[in-house]
Amino acid sequence: MQRKLATILVADVVEYGRLMGEDEEATLHTLNALREVIDKLVAKHSGRVFAGLGDSVLAEFASPVEAVRCAVEAQQEMENRNVDVTEDRRMRFRIGVNLGDVMVEEGNLFGHGVNVAARLESLAQPGGICISRPVFDQVRNNLEFGYEYLGEQKVKNIAEPVQAYRVILEPQLAGQMLGVKAEPTAAWRRPLPVAFAALLVVAVGLVLWLKPWERSVQRQTAEPATFPELARPTRHFRVEQPAELSNADAITIYDRIRHAVVAAYAKSESPYAGVYHTWRRYNTAPYLSATHGRRYVNNYANTPAEAYGTAEKTGSLREGSVLAKDSFEVTARGDVVTGPLALMEKMQSGFNPESRDWRYTMIMPDGSLFGTTNGERSERVQFCVECHIAAGDKHDHLFFVPDEYQVQFLNPGPPAE
């Protein structure tokens, strides 16, 4: 049996069964078009498709760098084609890439290297790419993407855990390394017992002096969540060092949970809960909001509310304007937890003079209604009215994205001298 070292790319359609069940002909037409795109990209990067059944594609490459380039371009092309497609009909792929030993038989590839690539595909997010440690070692210094270490993953029918990494496609995170970084190579793994012991003593001394556990307790006590949690929130995953999250970390966390968060909100009867994420977002990164229980929030606005982008110069928004603010929390222990969705809708004149005709609606993380102005459980969202009154009539009871997080092209500053 002939063997060789190869880079294997495995791609699979997300929710293919559901898409086919809803519209077989449209799904098959879209799949065939996307398969042609993938085939051309594989050839462009000196690879070849060696297998594929139904909604899956298996390709081999001589170079891990070319394989990952192909995977990134494929996902970018899929995203571009999905722009004008409704959320429920978008076809997305998961992609896994592995470098390993394979067996060759009549042009087909088999063995451990292929199996690991398939398992990595199952770990990827919809529209995402998951790579193994051997691939990461080859591309980290050759491709300017961001990467997130996902830890050692125990996967089906693979005896040893697989070290997995997510390729971060957002340009603003290029060159970033999130999560626990990879271990040093063997050449640098020489034991230094004396130095290690000294460092350990220093580290313990710092911990005892700083007492971080006391700070954590004090922060939680001093800044309780504003919104009572009447529904059990969704817990997604855990992050390391939650007190030291950067803007890049917040973006990555939100990217990982966004689809699940929206799907949960959409269970409500609100017509906006399932579509708000398609509107324009007015913040560059999720930011901590004291008025929203020290949760990370994002500000969205529909087309009638586009004047919101001029920040404090907005004045009054017109009837039909809707602002949405989703949220998530990173607890002291690192758990990523969904928060409520807050909606502000400008109603007809006379709807509620006290709130300047804004209707406040809050959707809990499981999609249940917390309350809505002049409607069910209206008294529960009265604190929203009282809070926004503080912004004043001049600003139409609106609060805005903090300056450092505003999308600058929507909020031009004074001309340079």
Query: By the 8 A CB rule, do 191 and 261 touch?
Result: no
Q: Is the pLDDT of residue 314 over 70?
A: no
Is 415 a domain residue? no
Note the pLDDT tens digit of each residue in 334-388.
Answer: 888 898 999 999 999 999 999 999 999 999 988 888 899 999 889 888 888 888 8
Which of the four pLDDT bands, split at 50, 70 and 90, describes residue 415?
very low
| Residues 394 and 299 reside in one and the same domain | yes
| Residues 340 and 377 reside in one and the same domain | yes
| Residues 164 and 299 reside in one and the same domain | no
Is 293 a domain residue? yes
| Residues 67 and 43 reside in one and the same domain | yes
Concatenate the DSSP letters of all residues of 174-236 into one string: TT-EESSPPPPPGGG----HHHHHHHHHHHHHHHHHH-HHHHHHHHHHHS--SS---SPPPEE
Count: domains in the chain: 3
Is 266 a domain residue? yes
Which of the four pLDDT bands, split at 50, 70 and 90, describes residue 163?
very high
| Residues 396 and 274 reside in one and the same domain | yes
- The chain-wide mean pLDDT, for the chain, equals 82
pTM of the model as a whole: 0.47
| Residues 250 and 372 reside in one and the same domain | yes
For residue 73, the domain's CATH number is 3.30.70.1230
Q: Which domain holds residue 401?
A: 223-410
Note the pLDDT tens digit of each residue in 73-83.
Answer: 999 999 999 99
Is 185 a domain residue? no
Residue 292 or 167, more confident: 167
Is 132 a domain residue? yes
For residue 255, the domain's CATH number is 3.50.70
Query: By the 8 A CB rule, do 111 and 4 touch?
Result: no
| Residues 12 and 122 reside in one and the same domain | yes
Is 170 a domain residue? yes
Which of the four pLDDT bands, split at 50, 70 and 90, describes residue 241?
confident
| Residues 297 and 347 reside in one and the same domain | yes
CA 22 remoteness from chain centre: 27
Residue 360 or 234, more confident: 360
| Residues 327 and 235 reside in one and the same domain | yes
| Residues 196 and 268 reside in one and the same domain | no
Is 79 a domain residue? yes
**Residue 382, pLDDT score:** 87
Is 236 a domain residue? yes
| Residues 296 and 351 reside in one and the same domain | yes
| Of the residues 150, 178, 206, the one at which a domain ends | 178
| Residues 204 and 276 reside in one and the same domain | no
